[in-house]
Amino acid sequence: MIKSYKLRRTLANTFIYIILAVLGIVWVSPLAYLLIQSFSADKASIPQTLIPMSYGIDNYIKLFTNTGTLNFPRWYLNTFVVACFSCVISTISVLMVAYAFSRLRFKSRKKFINVGMILGMFPGFMTMIAIYYLLKAMGLTQTLVALVICYSAGAGLGFQISKGFFDTIPRALDEAATIDGATKNQIFWKIILPMSKPIVVYTVLTSFIGPWTDFILAKIIMGDAVNNYTVAIGLQMMVSLEFKVNYFKQFLAGSVLVAVPVTILFLKMQSYYVEGVTAGGVKG
């Protein structure tokens, strides 16, 4: 009976591992194709085979030298600047809102938390048209400043996970600091934040990835201001009917470069990211 149980468990585990392996191959295959074809040196403008016959870095060189019509370096810099500024503003906003809801007790606190959670359930694209006309009235359309405002203005609504993390930090630390004469502001910056590295890393990563990969909002705001495009819009242009034949391989190279910063961030901060998510998932 024990042997039959072990046999059934072995067969079940084997079946599960096979399914996971197949799913893993399906998930990794497009990424592997993208990476391999980005180094293709074949004469064909669009890859004709899964595996290139020759390799080189010409696609990457052209990406940064052929800037007459499609200026990828400018788009890359635009995206990096917008993502960095949005990341800083959003991170500070989220952490401060989360700390206030976690530590401070004030009138209508629960109502504000509930309203914030309800508003966070609505997808952002529902307000894109209204946002566009507001920015147009202020003369901010087709500018990078508009993107920073849009990405960071409502970031404070994503306070739930950070609040859950702050709830796990003993309030005795706040009380001890208060007895020593520390203000709420000093407690937040000098005591709570230094102890909250996992959630800070998690917030930084999520705040950076959003602006770095966004397409829809950036496309609506930028319109035809090509020099202010982000990489998402630029890469979409490279595979349009007008440019696809000449820029498809450069599109592959650009897609690889777009993934590099995010990949490096996750590899360097993966442990903190996981710890921040799990610690912030507690009920508070």
Q: Is the pLDDT of residue 179 over 70?
A: yes
What is the helix (H) or strand (E) element at residue 186, kind and residue range? helix 184-187
Mean pLDDT for the stretch of residues 72-91: 93
pTM for this one?
0.83
Residue-wise over 216-244: b if at least 16 C-beta within 10 A, else e? ebbebbbeeebebbbbbbbbebbeeeeee
Superfamily of domain 66-279: MetI-like (1.10.3720.10)
CA–CA gap between residue 248 and residue 38 (Å, rounded): 9
Counting every residue, how long is the chain? 284
> pLDDT at position 84, please?
93
Question: Looking at 23-179, which runs of residues are DSSP E strands?
Answer: none
pLDDT tens-place string over residues 33-62 = 888 988 888 887 787 777 888 888 888 998
pLDDT tens-place string over residues 107-161 = 888 888 888 888 878 777 778 888 888 898 988 888 999 999 999 988 888 888 8
At a CB cut-off of 8 Å and minimum separation 6, what does 203 contact?
90, 91, 94, 95, 162, 276
Handedness of CA 162, 76, 37, 54 (dihedral sign): negative
Structural domain boundaries in the chain = 2-58, 66-279
Q: Is the pLDDT of residue 281 over 70?
A: no
pLDDT tens-place string over residues 222-238 = 988 888 999 999 999 88
CA–CA gap between residue 127 and residue 156 (Å, rounded): 17
The Cα diameter of the chain in Å comes to 77
